[in-house]
Chains A and B, each alone.
Chain A
Amino acid sequence: KAGVTQTPRYLIKTRGQQVTLSCSPISGHRSVSWYQQTPGQGLQFLFEYFSETQRNKGNFPGRFSGRQFSNSRSEMNVSTLELGDSALYLCASSRGRTGGNYEQYFGPGTRLTVT
């Protein structure tokens, strides 16, 4: 079974630009969660999508948004990029709701650098 894939793997953007990251979950998984990982803050939960609906949201500004398509693929968008948005963005898929006794499978991440 193919794992979780994320594209692109690396991205360099300029402050003020916007970016879209993509995540393809494992086949049959309906939940996709997004996390921001930085050396100082660890793994910070962004949001969870399940059956095309955002089910949970972390403590991030409205510049961070996402969506999920009918095939469970998910995209995350960050508008008006700031230097502090530089991080590894990880998505994770699971068969059921995140936190609902289902293990999460993480993708390799997208390394975003904002200059």
Chain B
Amino acid sequence: GQQVMQIPQYQHVQEGEDFTTYCNSSTTLSNIQWYKQRPGGHPVFLIQLVKSGEVKKQKRLTFQFGEAKKNSSLHITATQTTDVGTYFCAGSSNDYKLSFGAGTTVTVRA
């Protein structure tokens, strides 16, 4: 079945630095979604990518969908303490099944 792998599992970042989390699927995806879960909270939708090669930005966050629609990335610039949390990617194929990656847990050193 479809599997979505996410790396790294943990990311320790100095405040002000950039980092990237990657998401890879074993199959071609129809879309990919990104969610953020703050400590003690629930996942909150960030963005959805649908088109091959699509790039979307939300302030300091840049999301990309690969040309083959099998991978995606989230790049955060100038990390702030508000970026702490776990970032999940979730991919869907044409079978309406949404598979979540294991998540990247981000901690920030002030």
Chain A residues with a Cβ under 8 A of chain B? 33, 35, 42-45, 48, 55-56, 90, 92, 97-101, 103-109
List B residues 1-51 near A (Cβ within 8 Å): 30-31, 33, 35, 41-45, 48, 50
B-side contacts of A105, CB under 8 Å:
45
B-side contacts of A90, CB under 8 Å:
42-43
Q: How far is the CB of A93 from chain B (nearest CB, A)?
A: 12
Q: How far is the CB of B26 from chain A (nearest CB, A)?
A: 16
Tell me if A101 and B48 are in contact (CB < 8 A).
Answer: yes
Main secondary structure of the interface of A (DSSP, over half): strand
Q: Interface residues of B, CB < 8 Å — how many?
A: 23
How far, in angstroms, from A81 to B23 measured CA to CA in the complex? 34
By beta carbon, the residue of chain A nearest B44 is A106
Q: Which residue of the partner chain, among B43, B48, B99, B103, contacts A106 with CB atoms under 8 Å?
A: B43
Known contacts A108-B42, A109-B42; A43 and B92 CB within 8 A of each other: no
Chain B residues with a Cβ under 8 A of chain A? 30-31, 33, 35, 41-45, 48, 50, 88, 92-93, 95-103
A-side contacts of B33, CB under 8 Å:
103-104
B-side contacts of A45, CB under 8 Å:
97-100
Tell me if B96 and A56 are in contact (CB < 8 A).
Answer: yes
Q: Which residue of the partner chain, among A33, A42, A106, A108, contacts B98 with CB atoms under 8 Å?
A: A33
Q: How far is the CB of A104 from chain B (nearest CB, A)?
A: 6
Q: Top 8 A-B pairs ranked by shortest CB distance?
A: A99-B92, A99-B98, A43-B100, A103-B45, A99-B96, A42-B102, A106-B42, A97-B96
Q: Which residue of the partner chain, among A43, A55, A99, contacts B43 with CB atoms under 8 Å?
A: A43
A-B contact pairs, 17 of them (CB 8 A): A35-B100, A42-B101, A42-B102, A43-B43, A45-B97, A45-B100, A56-B96, A92-B43, A99-B30, A99-B93, A100-B92, A101-B30, A103-B48, A104-B33, A104-B43, A105-B45, A106-B42
